Structure 1
């Protein structure tokens, strides 16, 4: 594998510090102000090489032996897959005393960015398919390549990664310590959570010797100190037109919220049936509620009159000074199509992590694979095929009773929203009157929960796959043409026109505002920066850090009732742990979902904490950034050191990290 080499292009535009900046487009003036000197290629290469993409979330190398620091909630899926009634590491936590005790995370991958190359890919049509095939074919054998579109597609690049599939769990606190306060405290501040975890990346059976890794800061940060956050923010939409934002506000986001609320009620109802059911539903509930709270906050931001007025003012300025109004008119046409199609598209998606989602993916892989490359749905073409195959082959718990409830709920939702006469609903019901009876018909005698069987199905020739008698595969095969029709229409009327229009919109913006502004987040590596700062809550100043003593007080204030009950291990050590230990702290770095697990580093490039959340004001960050109230929340270095050395028998890990 080649060594990391990426020399950045530093923009000279004197932009504000807000923004999520690609590593080859860093803003020199604000960075120099925060660092106290111009950023050097060595400093940038260190942050880039230490940053790890964990299936859309973030982490960082913190030892030369492949040890990765991230969040507990980032590895919650791994924990769920490793947890059983007999070995409940979600409830009790986990620490590997020796390397041989580290547990492989099924399906987990990790990527490290090693290069960025400019490319030109047509927006649509056969030429696009040909160009994508060439991009994939030209990727170095030891690397994984991905097309990245910035500014909606006006700038296109090939990102080259080292990709690892042997990722092992090394340490994780119990869920109650990592997620203290539950959904009540999620996206809130003050916070009191030990939301961190450790993984180790292996290559060819040995720990990966990363050439870049982060050391802990020798000194804890002070109020006002600069902080830098390299991570993988998933998505922002700050550059969308008003018409596109309106489609999100009026159609897409309300539908997403309604569907999530239905699934939330279903999961909680199942969890109340008994302790084992509650254990099975814990990870799906936590993941769903995290996303649901974020979506509600984002929708509230789009309904905020001040934010909307600012967006309208900016667009009016751009359109007034543009050479033509055509780019906005084309965006409006695509947005109208989005409003018409998005509801049905969302209703046809299987619940995340469900057996139905697996079956639909299997059918899509096989049935799209019969088409020539370039005529397939993009989500099931090119490099995405291998990623789907690996994900489907990964082992994970299968709980028949939970799957029955989730599939029943999905059928009921589709029936309620699309109507009993809709072909999609008729296929789901299969002649049965009740969703639960239909769900039992499909799940009974299916092997969809067997990872070995799923892997075998992905490798079958298309003609043999078409003859499978497994009920869930038969269901998915009957649903795919119906789903494909809507997905293809969405690509044809929304995605492709917006991609083709991106260059004109971007150039109109650059003509008025300059070309030094950061692109929207795309799930790729970005650098954000800010300062450790206080925040006002309801007009009342809040300190920029919380302490262990504050955790005790918050638990006592709710009489230790869930979700404010202390993890038993912490409760037992309450009298011996130093109450003044800093637990969580906040800063003004611009972050969003996907930044979970990002290291927070000082000007020397040493880590001072790990980002795990934002406050409520940060939820507007999908569309706009306001430093007055937007805060990133991190687990402090001192809390991690105390936890490893005094709570979790992880002193050997603290020593490896230099803590």
Structure 2
């Protein structure tokens, strides 16, 4: 990276650096006794914005904006902002920031792209990348951005299809078929460069057809060294004050290979952001569950999220240990560690919120008010009055199957070990081989079976990582099933403690490619009767897994129909006065630049490079507060007062990464 480019880039980074959401207040009556705060939960009331401020572009709260900020955006402003914003692949947000197709996003959104354009002999993660000319910009294979060009209400069509269904399965089928019909029609009308999706709002209270212009010639322009983009590492992640250069730039090219000319883009504010300024995040927040019933949230709190946190805690520990024991694997594994640690903090935070009695009481108060509004109208009561109890019932049913579903579905949560992955492939292969050729799946036909065999054993088995992950997964499964159960003993041999966690790994052949291939050549019966613990576990649990999954599917389909009916009730009572849950579609979230108290002091609304260098020296230049070589001694003309990160009260979540933050002038 060249220092002459740094200030312009850093000023631009103001538009997407770390935001901190300061919670909206609620009405709470409390008294103090003996210097302690005593709280009567019965007096906790839902706040006005407990369901958030992620507004859709077809129903922006103009009157609220006017009363809160003395600002009422007109249709021209809204259309320009919508067309300037982008969805970055299927995991981040971004925006056009020049008339020549320049795109800005977070650098952590660019990590995958950096890896794809790195050439032999380069280490762009460590060294950073900047294209000094258009010819230097590198096309990123598979990368695309999507621009929301049209929103159409299709609620009537979708709900009519749903209402025509007589069973839970038929309702689900009708809905999916209507989704496909509407999106296929939209794409056929607009052309091959467009995509479409049906977005479900208010859990089924409203449906919209979103049409996108898709650009798939996207080239990287700038990405800082990962040590600058993720300065402070995991300890500083999700914290503030923050000092990371978490921005990157790309450029969209048209079908002729020329930088795209666009009239919709965000210009730069010459003055940046000041405390008290109203600001707007324009991005694609991923998923929230704010409109879920209390019963659903309590299930997540008591069952789903604790398991996810256990798995993530184990995964983070695995990668930390491997990197500590094998420092040469740092750059190979650090992105995986960052990703796991990031998810770990997210889920720990969500679980902490769900375990907060005040937060849950606010949710209960909202639900009680909503239920009272339904019960007060006979026609609504007749249609929707029993739904809360029905959803509570399906969650109670789901609890019965949760542990077996989680334990038997090896790798089902995306956190597994290669041992289970290889075992599952071998067992599936064996079952296919016992079928007549005509009944097998295409990839297992006699004519191509040798190709299938070649894929059963991984070309490179990472035994160091796999062994540690196996201990984590087995520990979680034993906790779920009980250490004295038949299924747990398959993996532990009936042993206890660390010996139990190592039993399966020590006995398994699955890390040895040659032995796996020998087992395959012995045939299907040999695979299914193998005494390898991982294969045994898959074989002996697969019938139960099939039964449990079938029952869970039936419960979920039934519950989905209850939830979409409750969504209609919600929309009938509240309309668009409250925003829908996040759906990884474009939203407009309002807030202000604002400080807050922390650690007994007050946070500055912005940080500068002075703070970065203070942190660098205060931690004695040690990781993760070390700097790339070129940053260690900046030139005298480098302005250390340049802002890096700042805070605001905007409502954001995963998926918002890369979102532009704009002022009332759409700058």
TM-score (norm 2): 0.71
Contact map agreement 1:364 1:480 (CA 8 A) in 2: no
Report the counterpart of residue 152 of structure 1 in structure 2: 203
Instruction: Rate the CA distance shift 1:445–1:283 in 2: closer, same or farther, 3 A.
Output: farther
Once residues 167 and 425 of structure 1 are traced to their aligned partners in structure 2, the CA distance between those partners, rounded to angstroms, is 52
The yes-or-no answer on 1:441 pairing with 2:510 is: yes
Name the counterpart of 2:22.
none
Name the residue aligned to 1:78: 113
Change (3 A) 1:79 1:307: same
The answer to whether residue 245 in structure 2 is matched with residue 194 in structure 1 is: yes
8 A Cα contact 2:243 2:644, kept in partner: yes
Q: In the alignment, what sits opposite 1:174?
A: 225
In the alignment, structure 1 residue 52 sits paired with structure 2 residue 86? yes
Of residues 255-264 and 154-163 in structure 1, the stretch that sits farther from structure 2 once superposed is 154-163
How far, CA to CA, are the matches of 1:364 and 1:165 in structure 2? 39
1:561 and 2:622 aligned: yes
- RMSD, aligned CA: 4.3
The secondary structure found in structure 1 opposite 2:325 is coil
Q: Hey, what's the Cα distance between the residues in 1 that align with 2:492 and 2:170?
A: 34
Distance 1:406 1:100 in 2: 45
SS of residue paired to 2:268: coil
Q: Give how far 1:132 is off.
A: 2.5
**Alignment correspondent of 1:532:** 593
Q: For residues 362 and 231 of structure 2, what CA distance do their matches in structure 1 show?
A: 37
Distance in 2 between residues matched to 1:105 and 1:355, nearest whole Å: 30
Q: How does 1:95-244 map to 2 (within 5 A)?
A: 95-117=130-152, 118=154, 119-120=157-158, 121-122=161-162, 124-138=168-182, 139=184, 140-141=187-188, 142=192, 143-204=194-255, 206=257, 209=260, 211=262, 212-244=264-296
SS for the counterpart of 1:195 is: coil
Cα distance between partner residues in 2 of 1:48 and 1:412: 48
Q: 1:362 to 1:197 in 2, by over 3 A?
A: farther
- Change in 2 beyond 3 A, CA 1:547/1:351: same
- Do 1:359 and 1:476's aligned partners in 2 also have CA atoms closer than 8 Å? no
Aligned partners of 1:318, 1:44: CA distance in 2, in Å?
31
With over 3 angstroms needed to count, the CA separation of the structure-2 counterparts of 1:102 and 1:515, relative to structure 1, is closer
| Shift in Å, 1:92 | 1.4
Larger radius of gyration: 2
2: CA distance, partners of 1:225 / 1:276: 47
Once residues 264 and 182 of structure 1 are traced to their aligned partners in structure 2, the CA distance between those partners, rounded to angstroms, is 13
**Structure 1 stretch displaced more, 505-514 or 415-424:** 415-424
Equivalent residue in structure 2 for 1:260, among 309, 312, 327: 312
Query: Which segment is superposed worse, 116-125 or 80-89?
Result: 80-89
Q: Distance in 2 between matches of 1:428 and 1:130?
A: 46
Give the aligned partner of residue 499 of structure 1. 560
1:177 to partner: Cα distance: 0.7
Cα distance between partner residues in 2 of 1:446 and 1:583: 55
* Match 2:324 to one of 272, 285, 296: 272
Contact 2:130 2:223 (8 Å CA) reproduced: yes
Task: Report the secondary structure of 1:200's partner residue.
Answer: strand
> What is the distance in 2 between the residues matched to 1:434 and 1:204?
57
Work out the CA distance in 2 between the residues paired with 1:328 and 1:21. Answer: 26
Aligned to 1:611: none
Q: Counterpart of 1:594 in 2: which secondary structure?
A: coil
* Residue in 1 that maps onto 2:96: 61
Q: Which residue of 2 aligns with 1:284?
A: 336
Which position in structure 2 is the counterpart of 1:601?
662
Tell me the CA shift for residue 232 of structure 1.
0.8
**Aligned-pair CA distance for 1:491:** 3.2
Q: 1:92 aligns with which of 97, 105, 127?
A: 127
Instruction: Report the equivalent of 1:22.
Output: 56
Alpha-carbon separation, structure 1, partners of 2:514 and 2:204 = 46
Alignment check: 8 A CA contact 1:223 1:533 kept:
yes
Distance 1:74 1:178 in 2: 10
Distance 1:169 1:354 in 2: 33
Structure 1: unaligned runs, 5 residues or longer = 1-14, 367-396, 448-470, 607-659
Is residue 602 of structure 2 the alignment partner of residue 541 of structure 1? yes
Report the secondary structure of 1:73's partner residue: helix
Deviates more, 1:212-221 or 1:184-193: 212-221
- In the alignment, the residues of structure 2 paired with residue 152 and residue 273 of structure 1 have an alpha-carbon distance, to the nearest angstrom, of 47
**Which deviations, in whole Å up to 9, do the C-alpha atoms of 1:270-322 show, x marking residues without a partner?**
11232331221100100110111111111111122221222222223333443
Q: Is the Cα–Cα contact under 8 Å of residues 408 and 439 in structure 1 kept in the other structure?
A: no
Q: Which secondary structure does the structure 2 equivalent of 1:587 belong to?
A: coil
- Aligned equivalent of 1:310, options 340, 344, 362: 362
Distance 1:225 1:571, change over 3 A: same
2:552 maps to which residue?
490
Distance 1:330 1:96, change over 3 A: same
Aligned to 1:327: 387
Contact 2:491/2:503 (8 A) holds in 1 = no
- Residues 395-437 of structure 1, C-alpha deviations (whole Å, 9 max, x = no match): xx988456644764575356534479777997999xx984446
1:438 Cα deviation after fit: 7.4
> Is the contact between residue 616 and residue 625 of structure 2 (CA under 8 Å) also seen in structure 1?
yes
Q: Secondary structure at the match of 2:107?
A: coil
Deviations 1:587-635 (Å, cap 9, x if unpaired)? 11111111111000111111xxxxxxxxxxxxxxxxxxxxxxxxxxxxx
C-alpha separation between the residues in 2 aligned to 1:83 and 1:482?
A: 46
Please, what TM-score do these two structures have when normalized by structure 1? 0.72
Partner in structure 1 of residue 348 of structure 2: 296
Do the aligned partners of 1:363 and 1:480 also contact (CA within 8 Å) in 2? no
Change (3 A) 1:136 1:27: same
The more displaced of 350-359 and 562-571 is 350-359
Provide, for residues 546-603 of structure 1, a one-character-per-residue CA deviation record: whole Å limited to 9, x for no partner.
Answer: 1111111122222222112223222121654212111111111111111111000111
8 Å Cα contact 1:224/1:531 also seen in 2: yes
Q: Structure 2: how far apart are the matches of 1:443 and 1:203?
A: 49
The count of corresponding residues between Structure 1 and Structure 2 is 546
CA contact 2:323–2:333 (8 Å) conserved in 1: yes
Q: 2:543 & 2:101 partners in 1: Cα distance?
A: 44
SS in structure 2 opposite 1:441? coil
CA offsets 1:347-368 (integer angstroms, 9 cap, x no match): 53357498969989999999xx
Contact 1:112 1:163 in 2 (8 A): yes
Q: Are the structure 2 counterparts of residues 557 and 215 from structure 1 closer, same or farther at C-alpha, using a change threshold of 3 Å?
A: same
**How much has 1:233 moved relative to structure 2?**
0.7
**Following superposition of structure 1 onto structure 2, how do residues 573-588 of structure 1 map, counting pairs within 5 Å?**
573=634, 575-588=636-649
2:204–2:568 Cα contact (<8 Å) kept: no
Contact 2:509 2:515 in 1 (8 A): no
Q: 1:80 to 1:33 in 2, by over 3 A?
A: farther
